[in-house]
Amino acid sequence: MNWLRFGNPEYLHLLWAIPPLIFLLLFGLRRKQKALLRFHSNVDPAHLRRHKIQAVLLLLSCLCIILAVARPQWGAKPESVAERLDVMLALDISTSMLAEDEQSVQRLDHAKEAIFSLLAELQGDRVGLLYFAEASFVVCPLTSDTATLGEFLAAVTAETLAHSGTRIANAIEIATERLVSDEKNATRAPDIEGQKALILFTDGEDHGEETVEAAKAAALKGMHIYCVGIGNPLKSVPIPLRGDGGDGATPYKRDVNGQLVLTVLDEKLLQEIAKIGNGNYYHAATGMTQLATDLARLEKQRFTVRSDGEYQERFQWFVAGALILLIYELVHFAIWVRKTGLAMWVRKIGR
Question: pLDDT for 129-141, tens place per residue?
Answer: 999 988 888 999 9
Rounded Cα distance between 132 and 149, Å, is 16
- Mean pLDDT, residues 213-235: 94
Q: What is the mean pLDDT of the chain?
A: 82
Burial of 98 (0-12, 13-18, 19+ CB in 10 A): buried
pLDDT band at 258 (very low <50, low <70, confident <90, very high): confident
pLDDT at 311 over 70: yes
Model pLDDT, residue 270: 95
pLDDT at 43 over 60: no
- Mean pLDDT, residues 196-209: 89
Model pLDDT, residue 232: 92
Model pLDDT, residue 349: 47
How far out from the chain centre does Cα 309 lie? Answer: 19
pLDDT at 111 over 90: yes
- Mean pLDDT, residues 82-99: 89
H/E/C letters for each residue in 79-135?
A: CEEEEECEEEEEEECEHHHHCCCECCECHHHHHHHHHHHHHCCCCCCEEEEEEECCC
